[in-house]
Chain A
Amino acid sequence: MKATVGIMFCLLVLVASAPASAHHAFAAEFDAKNCSDVTGILTKVNYENPHAYIFLNVNGEETTFQLSSTSNLRRGGATPAVLNASLNKEVLVRGCASKNGEKNRYAASFIKLADGTVQRLGQDVEGIFGTKVWR
């Protein structure tokens, strides 16, 4: 797990220079230049619209991640069953911080689930998947 996360960190560093234009709601609400890996225990999954949410316990503090819509999540394989399977287990989430300064609130682009699967959860504003920006 540690080695995998280390490799993932390397990948994230090397793609940080990827171009990212942003004319969409994500860029208005979240800071694409303030993204980080967050590791914690997945405590709750709210599967709803216009955005789903997951919650992590990170060193005793609740951290909120806004995901895409249920339509995108379902079609991308992030079904309730897939996410719920990691409840109460350690996961890693890539998140970009909220611009309004609300503490511990992020938009998520992917999650490394407890079984090691890397699953998309939202838009790719950093250019880490290949990549595109979409509204």
Chain B
Amino acid sequence: MKRLFCVTLVALGLMSAVAYAQQAPAQPDKEFVEARGSVKPVPLPPGGPTPRMSDGKPDFSGVWFPGPTGRANAWSVVPDERVVEDPIPFQPWALEKYKAMSRTQVELYGNANVRCLPPGTPGMMTENPYAIRFLTKPGMFVHLIENNNRWRVVHTDGRPHKPKEEQEPLFNGDMVGKWEGDTLVIDTISIDERTWIRDGWFHSDELHVIERFRRPSMNIIEYQFTIEDPKVLTKPWTSAWRRYTLSVLDEDLTENFCTNNEQVEQFLKLLDKENQGTAPKGEVPPEP
């Protein structure tokens, strides 16, 4: 009886796999492992009107998760919405360098999370899958980051950057903020070259990042950033708008310190094997 059940399940699986191949990307009609912790994503509705501070500007305060559900999205049972963006306008030398890297090299040398290093700007927003908390008041934007318990405080009163002679490379960079209507604009320079924009996308000491935040309704924050890097890119590049949603459970940030990082050692072992030819080279980074 058990064997019959198993055979039936496998047959159903094969049939559904064929069906999937014919009708992709529709969800295949098959049974999956039900596990506690998997998230069935229910997009959060817009909610009420945008909350505002005493000066009339949008108040971004709250705990936010990347993605549409207002909760941790790591174990969602459906794929993330695909973000469509322009290709990275690398200069020829930079494109050559980018394409020469293996996946293992990218992870080892360019993924801040692998090395427990600060992901920098805009990585603190885009390479951070965990909860964040914003606290805003007139003239100030506070960003608390669960990932490694990091933070940034940005004055939003339109003040200029530090004088050039006082600039120094910083992981988060030298940040100033201002309002353009209901959009908060944070302008960042002097960013440490150890941070990368994203997988394989390295930058120079002339990186200039312009971030834009807006809260069109109670439950939603939208985020976009522009990269200017005249030593690496042929022209500025602007991201798509990304969505962050208000925590539906009014969660707090949890403690998250990087205290036992085995990843670097493991990747170095893999890189050794790749270089010796005893492990296949990892896939190359995606097309820029």
Contacts and interface: CB of A to CB of B under 8 A. Distances in A.
Interface of A: 3, 6-15, 17-19, 23, 25, 27-29, 46, 48-51, 66, 68-72, 74-78, 94, 98-102, 105, 110, 117-121, 123-124, 128-135
Contacts of B24: 19
Contacts of A23: 199, 283, 286
Given A10-B9, A70-B254, A134-B80, A49 B260 contact: yes
A76 B72 contact: yes
Interface stretch (B87-95, B201-209, B231-239, B265-273): B265-273
A49 B257 CA distance: 6
17 contacts: A10-B9, A18-B30, A25-B107, A48-B260, A71-B130, A71-B146, A74-B254, A76-B37, A100-B279, A102-B269, A110-B33, A118-B35, A129-B32, A129-B33, A130-B32, A131-B77, A132-B78
Given A6-B6, A120-B37, A130-B38, A101 B273 contact: yes
B80 A132 contact: yes
Given A6-B2, A77-B36, A120-B75, 20 more contacts: A6-B6, A7-B6, A11-B9, A14-B14, A17-B17, A18-B20, A29-B266, A50-B263, A70-B255, A71-B146, A74-B254, A75-B74, A75-B254, A76-B36, A76-B74, A100-B279, A101-B269, A105-B266, A119-B36, A124-B77
